[in-house]
């Protein structure tokens, strides 16, 4: 007998990321090939016709796992009884804009959706925030969803940065993606993030080695590599005149897949979660850490005991400072908005 359907909410469902995302969810790439789903698709009323188009296409895919598709433009209705929520809906960054420029506009959405989560969602709901500035939006969402929803159930996506870092290392070391594991993205999903490969492992020629040995170019690892990963989002916007979508959707699927099924043995992934004070990051800051996830409890743990040298500490401090500034600005914007 197949399990009861999971109710999965996707916001911004008429947008470009979701055009890739909803098919991957509905076809079983996230929750497995035996897990039926009810997909709730939220967008704003102005996008209602486009949303109907996405629904028609999903129906036409004739996917056996998709038991229901429910298009909605009412936020309260959207959040009712959801098991998982992909919060993608927000204004995207355009060429020349910094994530900070989006803050005031987007933070209000996440205040309102935090409240809607508290009001309607299951207390076990797991949430990924993709809409930028993702860490700060998740912080605000968690603040307004508590105490009904534990802040531990709310996360922001840095898996795209994690995947970008993995791909860069694989290419430079001349191996395939599966040969690289345990890169880390620390901090904010922004230009201050710290992609760290000090603890990464690379399988080269049949034996596991560390990334520094596998790549053999410390200057590249401490310079160009970091900057390529930090700036990749902006470079893609400059090339496409649109922000990344296919790779963002894939990363969101990876993030929730691993939260649902747990991380493999001796493997961690990067996820922005509310800090528990690890590595000197003040409690509650939505900071990207290396985490492992227990399949049975679906609970994440920050990987402990990794050495942080002076170079790394400087990078951690910079991204923390940016997150604290964003948080303060977001709290001010929330106070000023009467939503």
Burial label, 216 (beta-carbon count in 10 A; 0-12, 13-18, 19+): exposed
Q: Does 44 bind ligand NAD (CB under 6 A)?
A: yes
Task: State which residue, 167 or 236, has the beta carbon closest to ligand LMR.
Answer: 236
88 carries a ligand binding annotation? no
Question: Which stretch, 240-248, 260-268, 307-315, 326-334, contacts ligand NAD (CB under 6 A)?
Answer: 240-248
Mask for 80-119, x = binds ligand LMR (CB under 6 A): -------------x-----x--------------------
Question: Quick one: tokens of 45?
Answer: 């009323």
Position among 8, 47, 58, 107 found at the interface with ligand NAD (CB under 6 A): 47
Burial label, 187 (beta-carbon count in 10 A; 0-12, 13-18, 19+): buried
Strand-pair partners of 40: 9, 70
Q: What does the DSSP assignment read for 114-162?
A: HHHHHHHS-TT-EEEE-SSSHHHHHHHHHHHHTTTS-GGGEEE--HHHH
Question: Which stretch, 12-20, 45-53, 75-83, 236-244, contacts ligand LMR (CB under 6 A)?
Answer: 236-244
Question: Which stretch, 90-98, 193-201, 204-212, 286-294, contacts ligand NAD (CB under 6 A)?
Answer: 90-98
CB of 269 to ligand LMR, least distance (A): 17
- Catalytic residues, which ones? 189
Q: Does 244 bind ligand LMR (CB under 6 A)?
A: yes
Nearest to 231 by CA among 203, 192, 281: 192
Compute the distance between CA of residue 159 and CA of residue 190 in angstroms, rounded to an integer: 12
99 carries a ligand binding annotation? yes
Between the CA of residue 114 and those of 7, 120, 299, what are the distances in Å? Answer: 18, 10, 20
Between the CA of residue 254 and those of 36, 80, 120, what are the distances in Å? Answer: 18, 24, 26
Compute the distance between CA of residue 77 and CA of residue 43 in angstroms, rounded to an integer: 12
Task: State which residue, 11 or 132, has the beta carbon closest to ligand LMR.
Answer: 132
Mask for 144-163, x = binds ligand LMR (CB under 6 A): ----------------x---
How many residues line the site for ligand NAD (CB under 6 A)? 28
Contact 104, 63 (CB under 8 A): no
Which residues are near ligand NAD by CB under 6 A?
A: 11-12, 14-17, 42-44, 47, 88-93, 109, 130-132, 134, 157, 160, 189, 243-245, 248
Which residues are near ligand LMR by CB under 6 A?
A: 93, 99, 132, 160, 233-234, 236, 243-244
- Binding site residue list: 43, 93, 99, 106, 130-132, 164
């Amino acid at each position: 007998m197949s399990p009861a359907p999971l109710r999965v909410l996707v916001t911004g469902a008429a947008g470009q990321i979701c055009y890739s995302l909803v098919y991957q969810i509905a076809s079983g790439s996230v929750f497995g090939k035996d897990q039926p789903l009810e997909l709730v698709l939220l967008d704003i009323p102005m996008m209602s016709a486009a949303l109907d188009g996405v629904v028609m296409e999903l129906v036409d895919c004739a996917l056996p796992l998709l038991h229901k598709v429910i298009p909605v433009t009412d936020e309260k209705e959207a959040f009712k009884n959801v098991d998982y929520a992909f919060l993608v809906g927000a204004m995207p960054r355009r060429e020349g804009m910094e994530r900070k420029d989006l803050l005031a506009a987007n933070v209000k959405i996440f205040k309102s959706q935090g409240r809607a989560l508290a009001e309607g969602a299951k207390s076990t709901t797991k949430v990924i925030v993709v809409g930028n500035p993702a860490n700060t939006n998740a912080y605000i969402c968690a603040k307004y969803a508590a105490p009904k929803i534990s802040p531990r159930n709310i996360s922001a996506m840095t898996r795209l940065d994690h995947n970008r870092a993995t791909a860069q290392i694989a290419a430079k070391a001349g191996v395939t993606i599966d040969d690289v594991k345990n890169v880390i993205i620390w901090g904010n999903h922004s230009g201050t993030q710290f992609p760290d490969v000090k603890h990464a492992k690379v399988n080269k020629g049949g034996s596991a080695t560390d990334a520094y040995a596998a790549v053999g170019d410390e200057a590249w690892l401490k310079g160009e590599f970091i900057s390529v990963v930090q700036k990749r989002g902006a470079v893609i916007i400059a090339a496409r005149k649109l922000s990344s979508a296919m790779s963002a959707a894939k990363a969101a699927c990876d993030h929730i897949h691993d939260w649902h099924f747990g991380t493999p043995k001796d493997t961690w992934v990067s996820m922005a979660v509310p800090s528990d004070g690890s590595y000197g990051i003040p409690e509650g800051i939505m900071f990207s850490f290396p985490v492992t996830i227990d399949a049975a409890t679906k609970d994440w743990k920050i990987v402990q005991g990794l050495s942080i040298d002076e170079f790394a500490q400087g990078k951690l401090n910079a991204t923390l400072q940016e997150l604290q500034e964003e948080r303060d600005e977001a709290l001010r914007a929330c106070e000023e908005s009467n939503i």
